[in-house]
A and B are shown apart, each in its own frame.
Chain A
Amino acid sequence: MVSEEFVEGMVSEIRRGSIILCVLSCLKNEKYGYALVAELNEKGLTIEAGTLYPLLNRLERQGILTSKWNTEGSKPRKYYMISNDGLSTLEELKKSWRQISATVESMLGE
């Protein structure tokens, strides 16, 4: 029997790639980090804040997301939104995703 750890590792490998797609799709309107965590969890993608925040930080540095701090409320929040570069990246990713999932599905169905 293959160890549970190994299976968990494989699952997180599979998830890792899909998370960015979900994050980019959700950020067509600006949102702050924790609202995004809540939205993703609601839609069935469990992700911890400690994973999502660093991811947002990286995507921003890569120019895929833009951000601005909103200091109007009681505490400052950083709002993220997909950039123009990010939009075209998302389109490419979507295409690849559909292709990969169709291929995988057809094999799993056999």
Chain B
Amino acid sequence: MDLIDKYIYAVISRIPQKRREETEKEIRSMIDDMMDAYGGASAENAQRAIEELGDPRKLADQYNDAKKYVISPRIYDSYAFVLKITLYAVLIGIVAVSIIEGATGKYANVGEGIGSFISGLIMGGISTFGFVTLGFMIVDRYNVKMELQKPWTVADLKDIPVESARIKRADCIVGIVFSTAFMILFATLPWIFSAYIPVDGSLEIINVFNIDVIGQRIWLVFAIYAVGVLREIMKLIAGRWSFMLGVFLAVAGVVSLMFCFGLFGDMAIWNPSFAQDVTAAANIEGDIFISVWSAITNLFIWILVIGSIVGIVSDIVKGFKNR
């Protein structure tokens, strides 16, 4: 009977593949027996049985075991909070980028500007949502694994964290907002990192970076951003320093540094003629500037390395002190 087939399909399409065949037979035999109880197989009795069984989605829920979550309820509040903050940060970033692009005459007309703004909002919104959700999913799975390892005892209760061991929510938010801002700038307005030199009444814009190379390596920017957000999410959920958190953050710091090497490790990311162009535009004797700039760009990756090592050591120390 058509109705019964449709109903059974609606149920079994919502339960795991390997149990479908058996469940289909069970439900069919259940409906048969119900129809018998109503006086035999007929279209009316089939409808009556199906109405009594009710919404196929609810019946499927009964056949499924535990509810599965992308984000567990216990961290859902943090998730919703971080998502809100990052979405606001992206919104503000895209508004700012659009205003700058509009003011610098990037668009032929208002319509094009609005179109670009809206598509930026959609793309930015979706990718932010994806990043944050993925980050929380990873943290969620990782947490669950940690908890399953050994049974809980009273001894596992941690001391209420002293002031220095607490992680302030505001710090994490500032971290997320700044990372988001930088990611958006690198991804959408890499030319904003420029020297602006007035020449004959107009502004000469000389890019610090090689825009083409940034375009080719944009995935590294996203990767650094993703690791950065993941670190902040981890801190936010932990709420306090602990040895495990310190180790996790240190590992994430190393990973992030590896991506930084990919981005800045060779000199390709820099605009090779930046120093020459600046001295030429500004019409100054530029030997000193050129050699200083060359030193800065050559040492930049090592400045990052030293900065990262300081950060990593500080994470480990904080974690160890509050273990």
Interchain nearest-CB distance for A41 vs B (Å) = 11
Known A34-B34, A49-B34, A50-B54: A76·B59 in contact at CB below 8 Å: no
Number of interface residues of A (CB under 8 A): 18
Known A51-B62, A54-B59, A57-B63: A33·B25 in contact at CB below 8 Å: no
- Contact status B62-A32, CB under 8 Å: no
Residues of B within 8 A of A69 (CB): 25
Residues of A within 8 A of B100 (CB): none
- Contact status A33-B52, CB under 8 Å: no
Interchain nearest-CB distance for A43 vs B (Å) = 17
* Chain B facing A: main interface SS: helix
Is B33 close to A, CB under 8 A? yes
In the assembled complex, the Cα of A34 lies from the Cα of B36 at a distance in Å of 10
Number of interface residues of B (CB under 8 A): 20
- Contact status A32-B33, CB under 8 Å: yes
Is A78 close to B, CB under 8 A? yes
In the assembled complex, the Cα of A32 lies from the Cα of B124 at a distance in Å of 56
- Contact status A32-B29, CB under 8 Å: yes
In the assembled complex, the Cα of A57 lies from the Cα of B61 at a distance in Å of 13
- Contact status A34-B37, CB under 8 Å: yes
Known A57-B23, A58-B65, A69-B25: A50·B32 in contact at CB below 8 Å: no
B33, B37, B52: residue with the most chain A Cβ atoms closer than 10 Å: B33
Instruction: Find B25's partner among A48, A49, A78 (CB 8 Å cutoff).
Output: A78
Which A residues are within 8 Å of any B CB, using their own CB? 32-34, 38, 48-51, 53-55, 57-58, 69, 75-78
Q: Known A-B contacts: A49-B34, A50-B62. Give 4 more (CB < 8 A).
A: A34-B30, A34-B33, A50-B53, A69-B25
